[in-house]
A and B are shown apart, each in its own frame.
Chain A
Amino acid sequence: MEELLQLLTETCPGIDFAGSEALIDDEILDSLDIVTIVSAIMDTYGVTISVDDLVPENFNSVAAMLDLIQRLQA
């Protein structure tokens, strides 16, 4: 969790990842951020995130993203 949070903050500085549960729904992240984040996650964790996974539920919070990564790693 801490590791992911650090990665996200590095990738998209200035966004309060820890404090939000609706990053997508509240339009805190835009599509560019998503792609940047997805690329970073794929590089760091060695998973393949496909376009099908790009739904708000998977990116609304850090926990959701972690959940997605773990699911893909399994």
Chain B
Amino acid sequence: MSFTSLTFLVFLGVLVVLYYLVPRKFQWALLLLASYAFYLWGGGKTVVYLLITTCSTYLAGRLLGGLNRRLKALPAEERKAKKPSFDRRKKQVVLAACLLNFGLLYILKYWSFTAEVVNNASGFHLPAPDLLMPLGVSFFTFQSIGYVIDCYRGKYAPQEHLGRYALFVSFFPQIIQGPIARYDQLGPQLLGEHQLDWDQLKYGIQLCMWGYFKKLVIAERIGVMVNAVFADVWGYSGSMMAAAVLGYSIQLYCDFSGGIDITRGVGQMLGIDMAENFRRPLFALSLTEYWRRWHITLGGWMRDYVFYPIALSSGFRKLGSFARKHFGGVMGKIFATSMATFVVYFVIGIWHGANFRYIAYGFYNGGLITAGLLLEPTFVKLRERIPIRWDGKGWHLFQMARTSLIVFVGRYMTRAPRLITALAMIRATVTDFQLQSFTDGTLLSFGLTAFDYWVVALGMVVVTAVEWYQEKGGHVRKWMEGRGALAQWAMVMVPLLVIVLLGAVGQGYVAAEFIYAQF
């Protein structure tokens, strides 16, 4: 069930009404029921994977919780003596959970790639069955492994009730594309009792509308052009490739962040506050900051469960002292952490999918950020020597543009069908940039009219303006509350009409021109 289908809206409407009608202690059960209905609707049989992950991590959580409890219950002396053996068993449990779930993820998502690479390189014939990808498998796997590790760390007591835990893993608004939630943040809200709060309901509806606007009006529209160009990449000049990648950047942001807005909006309508996943990445001043604003929950997950353990591992600490001894200075100080950073971005790259271009994407981000870290002392010295205002608006604008450009170049790698194509496209963008292809009608041959481009451009102006206002600390929805009744009515009706007329309709529509194209 896609967020943009009419079925989903009906489903949501019915759910919200029921949610506030049933006795509050059953609200969580209703959510569980709805979540599984939602998953079955779109995922069908692949629900099996969801169940495997749910049960295995539930079990791991309970085992870890039991070990923690037993260890704590021991007298202090004994506790110290038994700690190593307890730790070992805890590690075994975590390892088993990770192996099972990441193994499953690996087989589903990366096996065919491995088989292809191995087969090509060696002449083996590893079978590569075409497996049905479960919806949101990466998201729910990461989310539940995070839960297991938190239990291991004793951050919180595990959920004892399988059904309640199952709701945490399968909560329908977030299961397809996140945000990747933490149990201590989301769990209590899912399981708590919620009284109808009209404010929250209103805010939720508004956030959903904003998401639908970004998704339907902007992302789906520009996606037509992006697909057309990428379907026949070499049929166009480098400038058109750049335009398509720019279009893709817009599409990706509006689709992803719009989807998250709908997710969070739905959550809010149910009285559940979900983690933010985007914080206006356009305004990032550096690539590091960009990654702190883009897909925040993935970054957070990587920080807590990949970066910290690696950076604080004994191996890396040894690497750190080695570097301090031999490189000295700042370089020596941060060498080890830089390497850990690199690993994280490499993993993030692979997280996106099984392909060399994602590996390259990981290298690209990790390489640039690591290089930035290592060169920071040099930059500091340079900045001291050049007498301009390093905190002025102009410099910030430049930084924003620079960051956007770096991200833009990275997008070639995430959208092109192959790494080689991506690199060749980047090359063509520089060597074959034909300005006239923007005016000679090529843009109109992708299935979009001039009107469509205007819609996308104006849509992006609205998005940017709103984000700028938020960046300045403004609250759009609060601001709207203060307007008059007529204005508030208009602020409902106009967006609704825009979403419906420019976004939702048109799926069953066949323009007469197309009917007769052949005659």
Which of B288, B308, B320, B340 contacts A51, CB < 8 Å? B308
| Contact B312 A50, beta carbon cutoff 8 Å | yes
Q: For the complex, what is the distance from the CA of A27 to the CA of B309, rounded to whole Å?
A: 20
Can you sample 24 A-B contacts with CB below 8 Å? A27-B292, A30-B288, A30-B292, A31-B303, A31-B307, A32-B334, A32-B337, A32-B373, A34-B308, A35-B307, A35-B311, A35-B312, A35-B340, A39-B312, A39-B317, A39-B320, A42-B317, A43-B321, A51-B153, A51-B304, A51-B308, A52-B154, A52-B155, A55-B155
Q: Identify the closest chain B residue to A27 (Cβ).
A: B292
Q: Are B153 and A36 in contact (CB under 8 A)?
A: no
Q: Report the nearest B residue to A52, measured CB to CB.
A: B153
Q: Is B333 an interface residue (CB 8 A)?
A: yes
Q: Does B341 contact A (CB under 8 A)?
A: yes
User: Given A30-B292, A31-B307, A35-B307: A49 and B333 within 8 A (CB)?
Assistant: no
* Interface size counted on chain A using CB atoms at 8 A: 18
* SS of A interface (majority): helix
CB-CB under 8 A from B311, the residues of chain A are 35, 39
By Cβ-Cβ distance, the 4 closest A-B pairs, closest first, are A52-B153, A35-B311, A31-B303, A51-B308
A69 within 8 A of B: no
B287-312 residues with Cβ-Cβ distance < 8 A to A are: 288, 292, 303-304, 307-309, 311-312
A65 to chain B, nearest CB (A): 15
Q: How far is the CA of A31 from the CA of B373 in the complex (A)?
A: 13
The answer to whether A54 and B304 touch (CB under 8 A), given A35-B311, A35-B337, A36-B333, is yes
**A23 interface contact, C-beta 8 A:** no
Inside 8 A of B309's CB, which chain A residues have their CB? 51
B321: A residues at CB distance < 8 A:
43
**Other A-B pairs, 20, CB within 8 Å; known A35-B308, A39-B312:** A27-B292, A30-B288, A31-B308, A32-B334, A32-B337, A32-B341, A34-B308, A35-B307, A35-B340, A36-B333, A39-B311, A39-B336, A43-B321, A49-B312, A50-B312, A51-B153, A51-B304, A51-B312, A52-B153, A54-B312
Bin chain B's interface residue count: 20 to 34
Decide: B334 and A36 in contact? CB cutoff 8 A. Answer: yes
Nearest CB to that of B324 among chain A residues? Answer: A43
Q: Bound state CA distance, A35 and B313, in angstroms?
A: 11
Within 8 A of A (CB), among B204-224: none
Which residues from chain A sit less than 8 Å from chain B, CB to CB?
A: 11, 27, 30-32, 34-36, 38-39, 42-43, 49-52, 54-55
Which residues of chain B (316-358) have a CB below 8 Å from chain A? 317, 320-321, 333-334, 336-337, 340-341
Q: What's the dominant secondary structure at chain B's contact region? A: helix
The residues of B with any CB-CB pair to A shorter than 8 Å are 153-155, 288, 292, 303-304, 307-309, 311-312, 317, 320-321, 333-334, 336-337, 340-341, 373
Which residue of the partner chain B has the closest CB to A35? B311
Q: Chain B's nearest CB lies how many Å from the CB of A59? A: 12
Contacts of B320 in A (CB 8 A): 39
User: Which residues from chain B contact A49 at a C-beta distance below 8 Å?
Assistant: 312
Chain A residue with minimal CB distance to B300? A31
Complexed CA–CA distance, A50 and B314 (Å): 11
Residues of B within 8 A of A11 (CB): 333
Q: What's the Cα separation between A34 and B309 when bound, in Å?
A: 12
A43, B333: Cα distance in complex, Å = 12
For A10, give the chain B residue with the smallest CB separation: B333
B308 near A54: Cβ-Cβ < 8 Å: yes
- CB-CB under 8 A from A39, the residues of chain B are 311-312, 317, 320, 336-337
Inter-chain contacts of B340 with A (CB < 8 A): 35
State how many angstroms separate the Cβ of A19 from the closest Cβ of chain B.
Answer: 18
- In angstroms, how far is the closest chain B Cβ from the Cβ of A1? 23
Chain A residue with Cβ nearest B313: A51
Cα–Cα, bound, A32→B333 (Å):
11
B259 to chain A, nearest CB (A): 25
Nearest chain A CB to B342 CB, angstrom units: 12
State A50–B303 Cα separation when bound (angstroms). Answer: 14
Which of B288, B303, B336, B340: most chain A Cβ within 10 A? Answer: B303
A42 and B304 alpha carbons, distance in the complex (Å): 19
User: In the assembly, what is the distance between CA of A51 and CA of B321, in Å?
Assistant: 19
A44 CA to B91 CA, complexed, in Å: 29
CB distance from A50 to the nearest CB of B (A): 7
Question: What residues of chain B lie closer than 8 Å to A38, measured between beta carbons?
Answer: 312
Give the chain A neighbours of B288 by CB distance below 8 A: 30
